[in-house]
Amino acid sequence: MKSLDIPSPEDRKMPKQNVNTKLKRWRSVYIFIFIAGAIALLLSGASMSKFFSLKSFLDVESFHIHLTPEGTNRNSQNEVVTTVQIVIQKIQKELENLRKMHHDPSSSSSSSSSQFVLKQGAFLADILGLLESLHSEDQNGSSFIVHPLMKEKKRSDEPASYFLREEIRKYVRIRPNRLGKQNFMGANATFTSIGHACFSMKEELEEYMDYDIGEICNDDWKLAQKLMVHGCDPLPRRRCLSRSPKLYSKPFPINESMWKLPDDRNVRWSQYRCKNFTCLASNNNARKGFFKCADCFNLTDHEMPRWMRLNGDSISNQTGEADFFIDDVLGIKLGEIRIGLDFSVGTGTFAARMREFNVTIVSATINLGAPFSEMVALRGLVPLYLTINQRLPFFDNTLDLIHTTRFLDGWIDFVLLDFVLYDWDRVLRPGGLLWIDSFFCLKEDLYDYLKAFKMLRYKKHKWIVVPKIDKDDQEVFFSAVLEKPPRPFR
């Protein structure tokens, strides 16, 4: 009679215990893989971030040369490279363990666990490949390649790496103070700047900065003005000697220079259509090279009568170009107007006339087809070579008067006009006057422009709108004298 093998209760529990043991073993394997991968990821991320931050730090010439000794830089870089090597070795060791586990028959009881091991291995292999590529690039002396999404925002001292011309690179880098102390302005370094549009005009700027140090500069003022007008303002300084007229003569005395054309030898005419002041002042020459302020060089017939009361005029002067007389405007704040700014296209006649009333005016202008800046200076007045793109170089609440004519017209964008007007408000003192002189625009745009001027909430002393008779009632002139109100501190 055959005996039956009836398993005992202990035998029945054996398969269940084997399964539990395997599950616990695989659970510990998963936990170990997860912890190892997390540690490797943290170490690789920390080392890469440490290396990239150090790399960007070393790229700043000022800190590299002046603040950090060369030996310290090398030691720091060696420490980073050593850290990367250690991380690579640890990841290689973990990958080898995963490969052994994957090929071990006793540890591959299910396909899901095998896939998990493969996924973790691929993840660590990607990190290893990245670190090895970085390590090999460092040994070859090449720069590290950073993914665009991992790049930090550029700092103020990084534009140097954008340009090829060495003079530009030297200019825009931070220059720490010698002796490692703050200067009298409270800064540890000098931060030179260029206009943001210089980056979009890279070729023109590098042409402008192409010169021999200590030699005569190129005759390229027109290129410089093009850069300024298009937003590359301020321009970088240059280390070359300014080009002067070949036969510069002594300027006329101040009692003659105001209403007399200067000597032609005192201007470089190479970039102008007219080659002398007689050409610019002529009424018969239609090809002067500019259209704004076409008669500004005709001092006797056109400029001398402007803003002045002649032969009992009560409303406008004989030329019909200005709506208000100087004596009427100064009478609004009698004895209070001493210094001011004329932001116009012209030859300085407004400043010359205001000088007769003991008012000092700085004339802001650029050379739009003619030597306006030279003309202002040769008349014995102060020219300010400035575009509409730049903040006025005056401190807050310092000027008594701002005058503008033939410049802010209907071409200007409304938002840009806001920025300009608020900057003018900044430099005008409380009680100062803003004189808008013959601003013209399309009739349909008048309301929007007037709204911009009204936003300042200035007191109206004079305000007039008249049609522009040569445009078939499609354009209008607007003139006003406005007073900046006092604003109490809050």
The answer on 213 and 140 residing in a single domain is: no
The answer on 104 and 75 residing in a single domain is: yes
Residue 205 structural domain? 159-229
Can you give the CATH number for the domain in which 309 is found?
A: 3.40.50.150
The answer on 385 and 277 residing in a single domain is: yes
Cis check: omega of the bond before 234, within 30 degrees of 0:
yes
Q: Quick one: pLDDT at residue 158?
A: 67
Domain boundary residue, one of 150, 182, 211: 150
Q: CA 298, 302, 308, 309 torsion: positive or negative?
A: positive
Q: For residue 216, give the DSSP letter.
A: B
Question: Domain total for the chain?
Answer: 3
Rounded Cα–Cα distance for residues 420 and 196 (Å): 18
The answer on 292 and 146 residing in a single domain is: no
Q: Tokens representing 69?
A: 């000794």
Answer whether residue 127 is part of any domain: yes
Answer whether residue 247 is part of any domain: no
pLDDT band at 150 (very low <50, low <70, confident <90, very high): very low
Q: Does the pTM of the predicted model rise above 0.75?
A: no
Q: Among the residues of 290-413, which ranges form H helices?
A: 326-332, 349-355, 372-378
Neighbours of 447 (CB within 10 A): 8
Contact 486, 431 (CB under 8 A): yes
Mean pLDDT score of the chain: 79
Q: Among the residues of 155-304, which ranges form H helices?
A: 166-172, 202-208, 221-229, 254-257, 277-281
Answer whether residue 20 is part of any domain: yes
Contact 131, 84 (CB under 8 A): yes
Neighbours of 419 (CB within 10 A): 13
Share of the chain above pLDDT 90, in %: 39
Non-local CB neighbours of 27 within 8 Å, separated by 6+ positions:
none
pLDDT band at 136 (very low <50, low <70, confident <90, very high): low
pLDDT band at 376 (very low <50, low <70, confident <90, very high): very high
The answer on 169 and 143 residing in a single domain is: no
Q: Tokens representing 428?
A: 């005008």
The answer on 323 and 283 residing in a single domain is: yes
Answer whether residue 195 is part of any domain: yes
